[in-house]
Amino acid sequence: MASVLRIAIVDPNDSTREQLKSVLLGLDTVWLEAECSRYEFFSDVVEQTKPDIGLIAMDSDPAKAVQLISNVAANSSGCTLLVSSSSTDGRLILDSMRAGAKEFLTQPLKEEDLAAALQRVYRLKSRDSDSGRQGCRIITVTGATGGVGTSSVAVNLACSLAADPADSVVLIDLDVALGDADVFLDTIPEYTLADVAQNVSRLDLTLLKKSLTKHSTGLHLLPRPIQLEDAQLITPDNLQRIIGLLKSSFSYVVIDTSKSYGPLDMEAIRAADEVLMVTQLDLPCLRNVVRLMMTFDDDPSLRDKIKIVVNRVGQDSGQISFKKAQETIGRDIFWQIPNDYRVMVEVRNNGVPLLQHAPKAGITNSINQLAHAVSGKQTADGANSETDSKSRRWLNLWPAK
């Protein structure tokens, strides 16, 4: 990290507070700005010292600690809150994250875990100043119909995001009947979304992480159930809890939905910061986009998060033009991905993502730029992808406004 982060800590337990200070002294990326032994005084300490980070040890009184998190988050927006506890109870984790904590660390605190968390905080603070975003981002990828390449986009987008070692990314395959994210990644998962949902009542962060399959790209996967009948074990309520736990320890949660727009899919869409709706330039797809947007436009919480992604651009000469497509759907096209049938067939059949199989291909570059756009990061030429109209107009196939 280029600069030092100022940190204030609170822990009523003298022993664990001294251990925490010892860990902090081993890091050259932080400065211990203040320490406090009483929850009641910590809000004043933060207000007076204005640290970059506040670290709250919760074990002495979890209920008071959660209330403290809420108070500091409400009154000191410039202070990023981390919490630590020897408990991995899912309810405590959720309560602390909902109150305003950005990271949940397990006691006894390890130097490498704290260093990684501080690095994520530093990156988020830098990113916040440029894009106004903070915390874990949930990106839901859905389709205007089946067969438009939604899973291809979701898997390869997640791999592109995971390519940055400072970020942690998890992909949820929510197509509980016909999902194939595990095939795209050539993995045989030990646990599935159904296993996690079935144990949601006693789920904690440690158990959840052990249930994920890690790919060589760094991407974590939570796949669809193996047996069709197991899909009924997954409900919107326990999906919400699973997403909440994942948010506590990952930079990005990417969700690949089914095309049924059922209760699980709608829960993923509501939970998302951005929804990428994948379509193609043909009349059935575009008409479905119009139908879907009629529903989403009625809900202010959904309207602005939907972004149209056109896949397989240049597939054949019979495609509808971009101008006509935008007139039909009544909104801008956010992104377009070029057609590369040969590469995508090889990727699918070999179970290797684009980044590893064809890192220099045009379609790989397009997915990488899309990853930059949804993350708010800078592209290689220094332009922000989210506002760079040239990169959205791949090969300038439609006129600028």
Question: Tens digit of pLDDT per residue, the chain (401 long)?
Answer: 445 688 999 999 999 999 888 888 777 678 888 899 999 999 999 999 888 899 999 999 999 999 999 999 999 888 999 999 998 888 899 899 999 998 899 888 888 888 888 888 777 666 555 444 456 899 999 999 999 999 999 999 999 999 998 889 999 999 999 999 999 999 999 999 999 998 876 666 667 778 899 999 999 999 999 999 999 999 998 898 888 878 877 899 999 999 999 999 999 999 999 999 999 999 999 999 999 999 999 998 898 899 999 999 987 666 888 889 988 998 899 999 999 999 999 999 999 999 999 999 999 999 999 999 998 664 444 333 333 444 444 433 343 33
> Do 5-131 and 137-396 agree at the fold level?
yes
For residue 112 the two structure tokens come to 């490498």
**CATH placement of domain 5-131:** 3.40.50.2300
CA-CA-CA-CA torsion for 370, 373, 375, 378, nearest 10 degrees?
110
| Class (C level, CATH) for 137-396 | alpha beta
Please give the model's pTM, rounded to 2 decimal places: 0.67
Structural domain boundaries in the chain:
5-131, 137-396
Q: What is the per-residue burial (b if ≥16 Cβ within 10 Å, else e) of 80-118?
A: bbbbbbebbebebbbbbbebbbbbbbbbebeeeebbbbb
CA–CA dist 157, 5 (Å, integer): 31
CA-CA-CA-CA torsion for 314, 315, 319, 324, nearest 10 degrees?
-40
CA–CA dist 281, 320 (Å, integer): 5
